[in-house]
């Protein structure tokens, strides 16, 4: 059976096509359907149909982009375009992308549809024969790569023609199947650049292409252009192109070098689909974190210093060629320790628990160094913000307690130095804190509390002025009277006489 995938955003059209022909009787099988180009690509990867019948105007990913991606990444799959009368410009472009034919929806009949599809079925038979020949050569290539010393290279050399070689290596899972690899460059204009390829897949999460080219052929640039549509198929694919070599006897050596050097490299190439062997980083495990200094900062409750030590460490590690696994392990361990300590010290601050959960989830999903760096930046800034907020809340509580102390002890001698010692502030910091929060100095606030209490006693007690002066912390009656009059423009006795009922 020749398998078919139907792609159209109108369900009625898809249902009509499914019932237009008795498909199995004619040698075809509808293997699936999709409502737009993006969904179709997922189905194509899963189902590997022989033919795709697609509409052109669709949401998400239109038929034109779909045909371009099929032509470049799934060249063994043939596609037939359905169009309306007013879509001829799209039809023309779809032919450039390799469409086998187009049919107008208004004139679609079982007869003209079957005639077109049966022509495709004949082409599929020819393609299968060619693929069988290439598969045999690929088996020979696989043996050479894994080190069979008795391997003959004559057939491979004759097939590839050119004598300057590269290996294109990947461990992307989608390319473990030779059928996928065979299709990667199958329909591109390789001859124009004197480039020939043969796919390999050794069965141990290593696959790629053996490429033969003329000495001066721009292989890497050509491959980058050829693979441009991979973003629609395998967004996280990554390939490494070996340095050129001139003898197939070097296959096993070059292959083992690429396997070893490729480990962890994708982490450093977020915006680059193909990296040359000479671009690869020499990775190590980096320097260990100074845990002793870090834990000392945490024990001293100097969490800002702890965060700064983390920033200094990872800034240095990110600029070095450090293995991704080491970076992630270090980040997970260090931030877990920091956030767990913050949870214990701030049990009413639920944000630290949430930050820890989010970080441990996101760090494991970091595919690239750029994402890792961004995550660390966001996390350290979030922790600093929470620390400032928590510190501010703690200061508010301490300040409120300090003000209550003044309210309760205003009648005694109180100094800023005494309060700083009592509430564990530095003298300068406490002075600044009171000024910023109360918009007055400590002495002005103490005077305000004492004079407000004096007003209350003048109006609601029988105490004489000397007694009121003592009761409000002024040992000198004359100084009390002078201060009161300066503040309220009335002497204490005038204030009592004018305001007492």
pLDDT digits (tens, 9 = 90+) for 209-221: 898 887 666 888 8
pLDDT at 276 over 50: yes
Report the pLDDT averaged over residues 214-242: 76
Q: Which residue has the higher pLDDT, 321 or 348?
A: 321
Largest CA distance in the chain: 122
This prediction has a pTM of 0.58
In the chain, the percentage of residues whose pLDDT exceeds 70 is 86
Q: Among the residues of 206-323, which ranges form H helices?
A: 219-226, 251-262, 291-299, 303-318
Provide the pLDDT confidence category of residue 188 given band limits of 50, 70 and 90: very low
pLDDT at 130 over 70: no
pLDDT value of position 203: 63
3-state class (DSSP) for residue 500: coil
pLDDT value of position 204: 60
Task: Name which of 151-160, 180-189, 249-258, 382-391 the model is least confident about.
Answer: 180-189
pLDDT at 98 over 80: no
Most confident by average pLDDT, 97-101, 197-201, 321-325: 321-325
In the chain, the percentage of residues whose pLDDT exceeds 90 is 28
Report the pLDDT averaged over residues 380-400: 78
pLDDT value of position 222: 79
Report the pLDDT averaged over residues 228-254: 83
Task: Name which of 159-173, 183-197, 268-282, 371-385 the model is least confident about.
Answer: 183-197
**Residue 82 is encoded by which pair of tokens?**
């359905």
pLDDT digits (tens, 9 = 90+) for 108-123: 888 888 888 888 777 7
pLDDT value of position 96: 47
pLDDT at 190 over 90: no
Provide the pLDDT confidence category of residue 371 given band limits of 50, 70 and 90: very high
| CA pair distance 43, 63, nearest whole angstrom | 15
Distances (CA, A) of 388 to 267, 301, 334: 34, 13, 20
| CA pair distance 435, 354, nearest whole angstrom | 35
Please, are residues 73 and 99 in contact by the beta-carbon 8 Å criterion? no
pLDDT value of position 105: 75
First to last CA, the chain: 109
| CA pair distance 9, 163, nearest whole angstrom | 49
């Amino acid at each position: 059976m020749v398998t078919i995938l139907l792609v159209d955003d109108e369900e009625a059209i898809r249902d009509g096509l499914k019932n237009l022909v008795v498909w199995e009787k004619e040698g075809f099988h509808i293997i699936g359907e999709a409502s737009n180009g993006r969904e179709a690509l997922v189905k194509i990867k899963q189902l590997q149909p022989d033919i795709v019948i697609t509409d052109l105007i669709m949401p998400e990913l239109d038929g034109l982009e779909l045909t371009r991606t099929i032509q470049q990444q799934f060249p063994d799959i043939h596609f037939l375009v359905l169009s309306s009368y007013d879509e001829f410009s799209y039809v023309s472009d779809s032919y450039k992308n390799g469409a086998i034919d187009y049919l107008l929806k208004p004139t679609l009949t079982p007869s003209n549809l079957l005639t077109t599809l049966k022509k495709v079925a004949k082409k599929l038979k020819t393609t299968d024969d060619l693929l069988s020949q290439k598969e045999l050569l690929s088996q020979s290539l696989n043996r050479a790569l894994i080190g069979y010393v008795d391997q003959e290279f004559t057939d491979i050399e004759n097939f590839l023609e050119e004598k300057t070689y590269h290996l294109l290596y990947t461990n992307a899972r989608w390319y473990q199947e030779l059928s996928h690899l065979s299709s990667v460059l199958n329909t591109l204009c390789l001859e124009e650049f004197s480039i020939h390829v043969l796919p390999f897949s050794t069965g141990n999460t290593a696959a790629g292409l053996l490429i033969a080219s003329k000495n001066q052929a721009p292989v890497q640039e050509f491959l980058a252009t050829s693979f441009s549509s991979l973003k629609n198929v395998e967004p996280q694919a990554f390939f490494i192109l070996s340095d050129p070599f001139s003898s197939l006897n070097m296959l096993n050596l070059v292959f083992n070098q690429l396997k070893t050097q490729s480990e962890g490299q994708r982490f450093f190439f977020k915006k680059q689909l193909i990296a040359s062997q000479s671009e690869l980083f020499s990775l190590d495990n980096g320097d260990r974190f100074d845990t002793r200094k870090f834990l000392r900062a945490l024990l001293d409750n100097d969490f800002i210093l702890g965060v700064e030590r983390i920033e200094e460490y990872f800034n240095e590690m990110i600029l070095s060629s450090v293995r991704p696994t080491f970076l992630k392990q270090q980040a997970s361990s260090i931030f877990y320790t920091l956030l767990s300590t913050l949870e214990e010290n701030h049990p009413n601050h639920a944000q630290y628990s949430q930050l820890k959960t989010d970080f441990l989830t996101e760090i494991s999903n970091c595919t690239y160094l750029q994402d890792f760096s961004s995550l660390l930046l966001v996390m350290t800034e979030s922790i600093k913000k929470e620390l400032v907020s928590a510190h501010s809340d703690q200061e508010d509580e301490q300040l409120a307690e300090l003000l209550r102390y003044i309210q309760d002890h205003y009648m005694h001698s109180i100094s800023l130095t005494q309060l700083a010692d009592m509430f564990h502030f530095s003298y300068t910091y406490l002075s600044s804190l009171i000024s910023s929060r109360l918009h007055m100095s400590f002495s002005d606030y103490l005077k305000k509390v004492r004079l407000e209490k004096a007003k209350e006693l003048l109006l609601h007690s029988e105490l004489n002025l000397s007694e009121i002066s003592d009761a409000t912390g002024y040992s000198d009656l004359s100084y009390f009277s002078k201060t009161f009059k300066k503040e309220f423009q009335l002497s204490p006795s005038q204030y009592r006489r004018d305001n007492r009922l």
